[in-house]
């Protein structure tokens, strides 16, 4: 298994765990934030390796959704950091709603990549 695929799978593990753990807890916590950051770091690292090793030139559905997914993860994780630092209890309790939307969009790109990888 290529290192890039391992990194992306780690991203899936951390980001999915953080998203659903936060949803189940009903509030954003520092541990969730750590997992969001780890998911983002692994996804960005894995994507960087995929780009470096790719022979495909230009955008396709997977690369476009992948870039959008990373951008959303970045915005989401930065916003989670802001929410926790502001200690706004309402925002902390409702943050999981945003997390689920961003995770759903990100998982589409992940699954698209899996299908694309299996077809080669």
Q: What is the pTM of this model?
A: 0.88
Over the stretch 89-109, which tens digit does the pLDDT of each residue have? 999 999 999 999 999 999 988
77-81 mean pLDDT: 96
Question: For residues 59 and 91, what is the distance between their CA atoms, to the nearest angstrom?
Answer: 36
- Confidence category of residue 16, pLDDT binned at 50, 70, 90: very high
pLDDT value for 62: 74
pLDDT of 118 over the 70 cut: no
Q: Taking a C-beta distance cutoff of 8 angstroms, is the pair 102, 72 a contact?
A: yes
Domain ranges for the chain: 3-118
pLDDT value for 116: 73
Residue with tokens 């983002």: 40
Q: How far is CA 8 from the centre of its chain?
A: 9
Q: Between residues 53 and 42, which one has the greater pLDDT?
A: 42
pLDDT of 111 over the 80 cut: yes
Over the stretch 31-41, which tens digit does the pLDDT of each residue have? 999 999 999 99
Neighbours of 2 (CB within 10 A): 12
């Amino acid at each position: 298994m290529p290192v890039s695929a391992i990194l992306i799978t780690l991203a899936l593990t951390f980001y999915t765990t953080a998203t659903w753990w936060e949803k189940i807890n009903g509030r954003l916590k520092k541990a969730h934030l750590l997992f969001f950051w780890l998911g983002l770091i692994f996804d960005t690292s894995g994507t960087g390796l995929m780009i470096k090793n790719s022979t495909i030139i230009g955008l396709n559905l997977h690369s476009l959704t992948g870039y959008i997914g990373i951008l959303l993860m970045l915005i989401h994780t930065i916003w989670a950091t802001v929410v926790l630092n502001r200690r706004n209890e309402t925002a902390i309790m409702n943050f999981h709603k945003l997390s689920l939307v961003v995770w759903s969009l990100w998982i589409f790109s992940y699954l698209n990549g899996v299908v694309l990888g299996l077809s080669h």
